[in-house]
Every structure is written in C-alpha cells, then in structure tokens.
C-alpha cells in the first residue's frame, strides 16, 4: 500500500465539459472499451427488470415477503460466488469466452416461458449473477490498467453514465408489461433483449478480437 497510486501532475484548469469530452474521446477511440461500455451497459436494463419481475411473479404465486426476499437474495449470493470464483474462470477461459458467457447467460430466463414458475425463473437467472463479477474483473481491470492516470476519473464517469443510464428503465418496462400483458410476455421481452445483446457481442469484431488475459496481466504489472 506504500506504492504511489497516482502520478504527480499539475492542476487541470480546463472546463468540466472539456474534461468530460476528453474522457469520452478516449473511450470512443478504443473499440473494445466502447463496445463493452454499451453492450454490458445495456445489460443493466435486463438485470433490474428481471429482479423486479421476480418479485411481482413471486407475489402473484402467493409467496410471502420473506420467501421473495430469499429468492432475490440468491442473486446476491450468486454475485458473491462469482467474485470468489473469478480467478478460477480466468485460469480456465479466455477473455473472449468470459465476455460471451455473461451475454448468453441472460437467455436462461427463457426457460420461464416453458415452465412459468418463480423458482424456475430464480434458478434461470442465477448463472448470470455468477458470471457478472467474472466479466467485470476482466473488463474493468483492463480498462483501468490501460487508462492513463490523469484520465481515469473522466473515462470512468463517462463509462458509468453509459452503463447506468438505462438501468431505471428495466423495472419500469417490467412493471408496464406485467400490468398490461402476461408474465410470459414480460419475460419473453427480456429474453429477446438478451438474445440481441448476445448476438451483438458474439458478432462484434471488438469482442471477437478481445485482448488476452496475458495482456491484462502485463498491463497490471506495469
């Protein structure tokens, strides 16, 4: 912890707009970082939406508040499990495979269309929770490692804005669909959305030519 984590630099007196624009240009000019920001940022639409749907569907099936709480908590348990297992995934799979695992995992919710049960939905989205922190460990690690220190805050502010901008629309969309259509229709919309993301990520040249984990390790040791 005695290692200096920031470069020594002069105070930047440029306008905030110029600083944000510089961070956006850095992110946009790097296809891999740009694609990940949008593809996985859009994934933040599906996650909150499916969890909201899980709560509503659980209530409609007569589950108590405690039971619904346990089901939603299982998603958090999956995130914790994925965080602990991340080194194992990184040793077993390439970065490209890890990136695609999360994208295709969203399609698991389609099982609900065949077997409409809240426990089935919970089990179907659990793998997503496991792979999310694994993906974050490689994508975030690579982005932070390759971003110059003076631009780190600017790039992260742009990336987080892109990633979180759509997140509130997930529960809103789920609520509207569950109110005016059926539970299956609501989950089908999220499944189709997940399919679009998975195809985008699979066909994207940026992800297909993703840097290797050896590249990430080399950057982190510099």
Q: Is there a domain that residue 125 lies in?
A: yes
pLDDT at 62: 92
Which residues of the chain fall below pLDDT 50? none
Please give the Cα distance from 4 to 2 (Å, whole number).
6
pLDDT at 6: 58
What does the DSSP assignment read for the chain? --S--S---PPP-S-HHHHHHHHHHHHHTSHHHHHHHHHHHHHHHHHHHHHHHHHHHHHHTT--HHHHHHHHHHHHHHHHHHHHHHHHHHHHS-HHHHHHHHHHHGGGGGHHHHS--HHHHHHHHHHHHHHHHHHHHHHHHHHHHHS-GGGHHHHHHHHHHHHHHSTTHHHHHHHHHHHHS-HHHHHHHHHHHHHHHHHHHHH-HHHHTPPPHHHHHHHHT-
Q: How many CB atoms lie within 10 A of CB 159?
A: 24
pLDDT at 13: 63
Q: What is the pTM for the complete model shown?
A: 0.83
pLDDT at 118: 94
Q: Is there a domain that residue 4 lies in?
A: no
Q: The tokens 């993301």 sit on which residue?
A: 197
Closest CA to 217 of 142, 133, 110: 142
Q: Is there a domain that residue 26 lies in?
A: no
Q: Is there a domain that residue 79 lies in?
A: yes
Domain with 208 in it: what CATH number?
1.20.1250.20
What's the total number of domains in the chain?
1
Please give the Cα distance from 69 to 63 (Å, whole number).
10
Chain segment 111-135, per-residue pLDDT in tens: 999 999 999 999 999 999 999 999 9
Segments forming the whole domain that contains residue 182:
32-220
Q: Is there a domain that residue 22 lies in?
A: no
Chain segment 132-145, per-residue pLDDT in tens: 999 988 888 888 88
Q: Is there a domain that residue 7 lies in?
A: no
pLDDT at 207: 86
Closest CA to 123 of 134, 112, 139: 112
Cα 31 to the center of its chain, rounded Å: 18
Q: Is there a domain that residue 95 lies in?
A: yes
Please give the Cα distance from 103 to 18 (Å, whole number).
34
Q: Decide: 154 and 20 in contact? Cβ < 8 Å.
A: yes
């Amino acid at each position: 912890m005695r290692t200096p984590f920031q470069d020594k630099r002069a105070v930047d007196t440029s306008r905030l707009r110029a600083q944000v624009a510089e961070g956006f240009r850095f992110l946009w000019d790097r296809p891999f970082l740009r694609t990940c920001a949008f593809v996985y940022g859009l994934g933040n639409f599906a996650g909150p939406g499916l969890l909201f749907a899980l709560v509503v569907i659980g209530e409609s099936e007569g589950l108590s508040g405690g039971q619904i709480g346990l089901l939603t908590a299982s998603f958090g348990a999956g995130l914790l499990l994925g965080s602990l297992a991340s080194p194992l995934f990184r040793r077993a799979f390439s970065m490209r495979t890890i990136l695609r695992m999360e994208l295709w995992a969203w399609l698991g919710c389609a099982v609900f269309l065949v077997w409409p049960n809240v426990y089935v939905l919970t089990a179907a989205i659990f793998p997503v929770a496991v792979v999310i922190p694994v993906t974050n460990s490689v994508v975030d690690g690579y982005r932070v490692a390759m971003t110059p220190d003076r631009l780190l805050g600017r790039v992260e502010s742009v990336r987080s804005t892109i990633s979180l901008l759509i997140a509130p629309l997930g529960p809103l969309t789920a609520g509207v669909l569950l109110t005016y259509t059926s539970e299956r229709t609501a989950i089908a919309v999220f499944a189709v959305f997940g399919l679009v993301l998975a195809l985008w990520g699979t066909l994207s040249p940026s992800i297909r030519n993703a840097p290797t984990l050896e590249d990430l390790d080399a950057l982190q040791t510099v």
